[in-house]
Amino acid sequence: MGSRHVCPAQPPGRCPAGAARTGAAAADRIAMGSAAPRFSSLPLLLLLLLLRAEQPQGTELTFELPDSARQCFHEDVQQGVKFSLDYQVITGGQYDVDCSVEDPLGNTIYRETKKQYDSFTYQAEVQGVYRFCFSNEFSTFSHKTVYFDLQVGDEPPILPDMGSRVTALTQMESACVTIHEALRTVVDSQTHYRLREAQDRARAEDLNSRVSYWSLGETIALFVVSVSQVLLLKSFFTEKRPISRAVHS
């Protein structure tokens, strides 16, 4: 199929040769572009839906809790909104901590003592600022490292009309939901393994320091015993000469 170039600024029959060649090249590029294969937009749409999925409001934090100390965090929660608290002691002492949750009226809705880890879910009955406290006041010398994850509100559906629609999900929507759930599982697993890795590393470092100090003590004791034995054996083979005194009459 031939290409045609029009020069609106020139009279008919006086179109420059360069412009004609340029128009022919542009027409060829357009023809080649129209013949190029079109890639499927399914992966792009899938990625956009996954990125569009909103996350519930939450806080994830790892902090240091000194001995005989108490530290509190505050969160504003609307009435009727559900929130969940997960916490775990990573390092320090017997890996235990006291935890309490108070509502805006000062009522204690959750209290546990000397817990290594726990979870708590509650639906706010009163709107206001809730207080989450961690206490290490029962310990006089153990320094603790505590991790907690506070999630406020339910996670919205990945699709905006997923709760009210009556038709079945399309194949792409089903794939989005499946991948989203799999990613949530991966994130939870990674958090769990990171906490286990930090806890095991702290225990290994503590054990290593104890072994090092014990080895140093054994080395000093062995050196002292060796020197004592050498001196003792040397005393056995040392000849003691009597001291004679001249008596002058």
pLDDT band with cut points at 50, 70 and 90 for residue 169: confident
Count the neighbouring beta carbons within 10 Å of the beta carbon of residue 101: 19
Which amino acid, one-letter code, is at 106? G
Q: Per-residue pLDDT for 45 more than 60?
A: no
- Give the model's pLDDT for residue 108: 93
Closest Cα partner for 152 from 76, 83, 73? 83
pLDDT band with cut points at 50, 70 and 90 for residue 157: low
Most confident of 30-34, 54-58, 179-183, 239-243: 179-183
Q: Quick check: 121 and 160 in contact, CB under 8 A?
A: no
- Give the distance, in angstroms, between the CA of residue 165 and the centroid of all CA atoms in the same chain: 35
- Return d(Cα 101, Cα 44) in angstroms, integer: 44
| 193-222 pLDDT tens trace | 888 888 888 888 888 999 999 999 999 999
Q: Per-residue pLDDT for 170 more than 60?
A: yes
| 78-130 pLDDT tens trace | 999 999 999 999 988 888 999 999 999 999 999 999 998 899 999 999 999 99
Q: Quick check: 120 and 110 in contact, CB under 8 A?
A: yes
Q: Quick check: 172 and 46 in contact, CB under 8 A?
A: yes
CA torsion, points 135, 138, 142, 147, in degrees to nearest 10? -20
Closest Cα partner for 129 from 177, 169, 75, 189? 75
pLDDT band with cut points at 50, 70 and 90 for residue 25: very low
Overall pTM > 0.75: no
What does 22-56 look like in DSSP terms, one character per residue? HHHHHHHHHHHHHHSPPPPSHHHHHHHHHHH----
Is 139 in a helix, a strand, or coil?
A: coil
For residues 71-82, b (16+ Cβ closer than 10 Å) or e, as one string? Answer: eeeebebeeeee
- Return d(Cα 33, Cα 14) in angstroms, integer: 30
